[in-house]
Amino acid sequence: MKQFAVIGLGRFGISVAKTLYEMGHDVLAIDKNEELISAISDYTTHAVQGDASEEGVLQSLGIKNFDVAVVAIGGDIEASIMVTMIVKELGVKYVLAKAQNDMHARVLYKIGADRVVFPERDMGIRVAHNLVSTNIMDYIELSPNYSLMELSVLPIWVGKSLKELNMRTKYGINVIAIKRGESINVTPKADDVLRKGDVLIVVGTADDIGKLEALSG
Ligand code: ADP
């Protein structure tokens, strides 16, 4: 069981804090807004009202003993930077921070954030890909150059094996799993034959995934 501190209880912070707590972890939630603290107190181990950008506040909460700190302050960039710097200086091993834009993310990495996330941007990308084609169930950017996509088997693929489809050569992508109903095959073989309703999980360069996406639109 790990100890997590979640600082900032906007929609993102609340969702992270509640999920970690439901998973059985120790969660300390901090926000300067008293109402948010009362609302979340039943869903976390501790909920404390305070301004996390004042060094003494986090210090007195023993933040250095936490395994992970999540800085979920998005709107107030100055506060997000201050808090990230303080938790890092106080010795928290792993700090994940939410950024509003690329410049904000660069600053957060510079001052020691271990991981920076863009929840709204990433969700926007996933939703947009799903809207463009109903065959695309999910789309995740793994890096600026590689993506993962979950897509329904196209009618022209039904009854064909992975070997026959030859996706690696034809489209430059790897099929890493096949979902069929409730089951998921994470070691697909060359002679596995695709059926109607199957869902493929594929990985490839953003370019190649884009070509496949155009095909399935
Ligand atoms: P979201 O976009 O996920 O809803 P917001 O940036 O709107 O996130 O919310 C951030 C939360 O962080 C707010 O509830 C705000 O009260 C809290 N917050 C901002 N600055 C501080 C700070 N210095 N100390 C503690 N909490 C803060």
The CATH number covering residue 84 comes to 3.40.50.720
Domain-terminating residue out of 67, 83, 117: 117
112 and 126 belong to one structural domain: no
For the record, the structure tokens of 214 come out as: 């155009």
90 and 178 belong to one structural domain: no
Q: What is the pLDDT, as a whole number, of residue 143?
A: 86
Q: What is the pLDDT, as a whole number, of residue 1?
A: 80
Q: What are the distances in angstroms from CA 191 to CA 33, 54, 132, 152, 195?
A: 58, 61, 31, 19, 13
Domain-terminating residue out of 117, 134, 152: 117
Which residue, judged by its Cα, is nearest atom 4 of ligand 1?
10
Query: Among the atoms of ligand 1, which is closest to the Cα of residue 13?
Result: 3
- For residue 15, give its domain range: 3-117
Q: Is 194 helix (H, G, I), strand (E, B) or coil?
A: coil
Positive/negative CA dihedral, 125, 128, 130, 132: negative
The CATH number covering residue 146 comes to 3.30.70.1450
> pLDDT grade, residue 133 (50/70/90)?
confident
107 and 140 belong to one structural domain: no
Closest CA to 8 of 114, 119, 122, 109: 119
Here the ipTM equals 0.93
Q: What is the pLDDT, as a whole number, of residue 131?
A: 87
56 and 111 belong to one structural domain: yes
61 and 144 belong to one structural domain: no
The Å distance, Cα 199 to ligand 1 centre, comes to: 39
The string of pLDDT tens digits covering residues 18-64 is 999 999 999 999 999 999 999 999 999 999 999 999 989 999 999 99
Q: What is the pLDDT, as a whole number, of residue 215?
A: 82
Stretch 80-84: mean pLDDT = 98
Q: Check pLDDT > 80 for residue 217.
A: no
136 and 65 belong to one structural domain: no
Q: What is the pLDDT, as a whole number, of residue 119?
A: 93
104 and 130 belong to one structural domain: no
Q: What is the pLDDT, as a whole number, of residue 115?
A: 96
Question: For a substitution probing ligand 1, which of 6, 11, 19, 32 has the most ligand atoms within 8 Å of its CB?
Answer: 32
Q: What are the distances in angstroms from CA 178 to CA 139, 142, 168, 196?
A: 15, 19, 15, 12
Residue 117 CB neighbour total at 10 angstroms: 18
The Å distance, Cα 77 to ligand 1 centre, comes to: 10
Percent of the chain with pLDDT over 70: 100
The string of pLDDT tens digits covering residues 86-101 is 999 999 999 999 999 9
23 and 94 belong to one structural domain: yes
Amino acid identity at 66: F
The Å distance, Cα 111 to ligand 1 centre, comes to: 19
19 and 111 belong to one structural domain: yes
85 and 139 belong to one structural domain: no
18 and 102 belong to one structural domain: yes
Stretch 150-169: mean pLDDT = 94
Q: What is the pLDDT, as a whole number, of residue 88?
A: 96
56 and 142 belong to one structural domain: no
Question: For a substitution probing ligand 1, which of 34, 59, 76 has the most ligand atoms within 8 Å of its CB?
Answer: 76
Give me the number of domains the chain comprises. Answer: 2
The Å distance, Cα 73 to ligand 1 centre, comes to: 4
Say what the pTM is. Answer: 0.81
